[in-house]
Chain A
Amino acid sequence: MTAPFPTRKQEEWRYADLDALEPVWEQFAEPRTLIVGPGESLEEVWLPTGDDVQVRRVELALGEGASARIFVLNTAPVYGRIELEISLATNADFELYGANIGTALATNEIVTVVKHLGVGGRSRQVIRSVLNGKATGSYLGKVEVARGAQQTDAEQSVKAMLLDRGATANAKPELEIFADDVKCAHGATVGELDATQLFYAESRGLDPAGARALLLEGFVMGLWDSVSDGDSIADAAREALRRIV
């Protein structure tokens, strides 16, 4: 049985491209479940597939002391959605490093719910979006800290770079906290390339497109600093940036 098709009235689908999703909904309706047992660790790199519509819906459960790191490049040509619901038991550790890179009319979004259920959990989400044309890039991230989940340390860092006037970035970090000894940092910025940095790079001999590409690379590439699984995601991100500069 397929789950009911979402509507835009649901907050987590508010910015979605439902027209693009509808024909392929059946294929994505059921989320994938990942379980990381106590003390175990998981690292995943999610690369784009090249399809017009790319959706990943994942439920991730981290046992006591478990850790997971997910690196994702979301750059579908029409609609890309990364949807993650994570639950953290005591002392579990979750990190998400994601980029939305979009051009033309693409909509790419990362939607997360992080549930801190036990004491001493740590979560860190770092999202960077680079958008040109009339592309949309969104991050909707909810962090829930359950009653008693003291010493939770949750961080959300969301930055977007808009290269054209028609591009849109949505950033919505959200916190719901039922404990009184927690740290929940969140920050969101939307900007454009810095003219002084561009001139500095051009004065050293980079042509304008090369200078833009280099600055954008600097903006995005830090996401992959801690990935142990080769250069695949860095190469794919570089390729995606080249397409939109």
Chain B
Amino acid sequence: MLKIENLHATVADKPILNGVSLHVPAGEVHAIMGPNGSGKSTLAYVLAGRPGYAVSEGGAMFDGRDLLALEPHERAAAGLFLGFQYPVEIPGVSYLQFLRESLNSQRRSRGEAELSGAEFIKLAREQAALLGMDAEMLKRPVNVGFSGGEKKRAEMVQMGIMNPRFAVLDETDSGLDIDALKAVGAGINRIMRDPSKGVLLITHYQRLLDYVEPDKVHVLNGGRIVRSGGPELAKELEREGYVEAAA
């Protein structure tokens, strides 16, 4: 489903990714773990198409399409979702309007009918309720005045509304208390655990993996995948640290 091959990328001319190769077949959840500065967020941004992240070699295919040739909004319409490590605040724009316009823009480009205001609000309420978020918060400007945990929960509500085919979740677990972690983990399983979908879960810690069990775990270090294994690898990393486990 997502096939990354020998991906090299630079940020401000500094090489960050130095040949990442990775294949996530449909129906699987893969975790990427690694120390600070190993290139995890850069990988997420490159996949989503953030300006300033330049691919110098290699590529990524998504369902047989050249992912890197698409604009960010085309990647979203193709079914890719990026859960941000630091969700962005947009003053003056309500969450409801932001998400409705985004979703309808995706649907238009896929040749699907747009959702009416009433249909969209129903969907948004359902998804907020499933993640334990007060739907009234969706009337507020995007992420403005939200706590760190509320922002991450809101990212998952967005994912529920967009219902993507593939999610790249960049440290969605950071800044969450234990209840929010459980809710977010359950949300990922409910929305994304499907034979036709895939997830790349980027995290520092094992704890989210207690709720979302990965099929494979990869260790990213120095912009390269240095080790891959099953779920037990995450536990080993937690026990021994990156330096030992990746050696």
Contact with B along A192-207 (1 / 0, CB 8 A): 0001110111111111
Which single member of B48, B73, B89 contacts A208 (CB below 8 Å)? Answer: B73
- Whether A214 pairs with B162 at a CB distance below 8 angstroms is no
Give A217 to B48 CA distance when docked, in angstroms.
25
Tell which of A114-122, A134-142, A218-226 binds the partner: A218-226
Main secondary structure, interface of B, reads helix
- Contact check, A202 vs B72: say whether CB atoms are below 8 A apart: yes
Interface string of A79-123 (1 = CB under 8 A from B): 000000000000000000000000000000000000000000000
Given known A195-B51, A199-B72, contact A205–B105 (CB-CB < 8 A):
yes
Chain A CB within 8 A of B101 CB: yes
Partner pick for A199 among B51, B98, B105, CB 8 A cutoff: B51
For residue A6, CB closer than 8 A to chain B, the reply is no
A202–B73 Cα gap in the complex (Å)?
A: 5
Contacts of B87 in A (CB 8 A): 200
In the complex the two chains form, is B90's CB within 8 Å of A215's CB?
Answer: yes
A202 lies within 8 A of B88 (CB): no
B contact residues, total (Cβ < 8 Å) = 31
Which segment of B10-18, B76-84, B203-211 sits at the interface? B76-84
* B42 cross-chain contacts in A, Cβ below 8 A: none
Kindly identify, within residues 85 to 102 of chain B, every residue whose CB is under 8 Å from any CB belonging to chain A: 87-93, 97-99, 101-102
Choose one: B50, B76, B90; the contact of A205 (CB below 8 Å).
B76
Asked if B127 is at the interface (CB within 8 A of a chain A CB), the reply is: no
Given A199-B51, A203-B82, A204-B158: A214 and B98 interface contact (C-beta under 8 Å): yes
Q: Are B92 and A204 in contact, with the CB atoms below 8 A?
A: no
Judging by beta carbons under 8 Å apart, are A204 and B50 in contact?
no
Distance in Å: Cβ of B111 to nearest Cβ of chain A: 14
A65 interface residue per 8 A CB criterion: no
Residue B232 CB within 8 A of the other chain: no
B92 touches A222 (CB 8 A): yes
B220 within 8 A of A: no
Interface size class of A (residues with CB under 8 A): 20 to 34
Contact with A along B92-131 (1 / 0, CB 8 A): 1100011101110110010000000000000000000000
Q: Which residues of A contact B99 (CB under 8 A)?
A: 204
Could you say which residues of chain B place their CB within 8 Å of the CB of A202?
Answer: 49, 71-73, 76
A206-B84 CB under 8 A given contacts A201-B98, A214-B97, A221-B92: no
> In the complex, A221→B91 CA distance in Å?
11
Report chain B residues within 8 Å CB of A201.
Answer: 90, 98, 102
Give the CA-CA distance A210 to B73 in the complex, in Å: 10
Complex: A215 Cα to B162 Cα, angstroms:
20
Is there a chain A Cβ closer than 8 Å to B141's Cβ? yes
Contact of A200 among B77, B84, B103 (CB under 8 A): B84
Residues of B contacting A199 in the complex (Cβ-Cβ under 8 angstroms): 50-51, 72, 88
Q: List A contacts of B77 (CB < 8 A).
A: 205
Residues of B near A215 (CB, < 8 A) are 90, 93
Q: Note all chain B residues with C-beta closer than 8 A to A195.
A: 51
Residues of A within 8 A of B88 (CB): 196-197, 199-200
Give Cα distance in the complex from A153 to B109, angstroms.
51
B190-202 near A? 1/0 per residue, CB < 8 Å = 0000000000000
Closest to B92 in A: A218
Inter-chain contacts of B73 with A (CB < 8 A): 202-203, 205-208, 210-211
Q: Which of B93, B98, B105 meets A207, CB within 8 Å?
A: B105
Which 4 pairs of residues, A with B, have the shortest CB-CB distance?
A218-B92, A205-B106, A204-B102, A218-B93
Q: Which residues of B contact A (CB under 8 A)?
A: 48-51, 71-73, 75-77, 82, 84, 87-93, 97-99, 101-103, 105-106, 109, 141, 158, 162
Query: Can you name 14 A-B residue pairings with CB atoms under 8 Å?
Result: A196-B88, A197-B89, A200-B87, A201-B90, A203-B73, A205-B102, A205-B106, A207-B73, A210-B73, A210-B101, A211-B73, A214-B97, A218-B141, A222-B91
New A-B pairs, 15, CB < 8 Å, besides A210-B105, A214-B101, A218-B141: A195-B51, A199-B51, A200-B88, A200-B90, A201-B102, A202-B49, A203-B49, A203-B73, A206-B105, A207-B73, A208-B71, A210-B73, A217-B92, A218-B90, A218-B91
